[in-house]
Amino acid sequence: MEVLKVSANSNPKAVAGALAAVLRERRSAEIQAVGAGAVNQAVKAIAITRGFVAPNGIDIVAIPAFAEIQIDGEGRTAIKFIVEER
């Protein structure tokens, strides 16, 4: 599964474009975000993506979950969204 990493500085429209491309090709993707700002940008990107893929007859759902990841050798808790076709 393709993993897209989102930061608080990510442009939600750019993330949405990347997510839409992955969904059209692979039917599912994972978005990872660490911190409130990053989660905010990820949720915006998912909403924008829905508008991008709807004309193609694709309806998406996002399943939130926690993920333990390593950043600079330090363990962090991320929010991950598994985005897939309904």
List pLDDT tens digits, range 22-63: 999 999 999 999 999 999 999 999 999 999 999 989 999 999
Q: What's the CA gap between 60 and 53, in Å, rounded?
A: 8
Cα-Cα-Cα-Cα torsion 56, 18, 7, 67, nearest 10 degrees, comes to 70
pLDDT at 71 over 90: no
CATH of 2-85, one of 3.40.50.1820, 3.40.50.450, 3.40.605.10, 3.30.110.20: 3.30.110.20
Token pair belonging to 20: 């839409």
pLDDT at 65 over 90: yes
Residue with tokens 């474009």: 17
State pTM to two decimals: 0.92
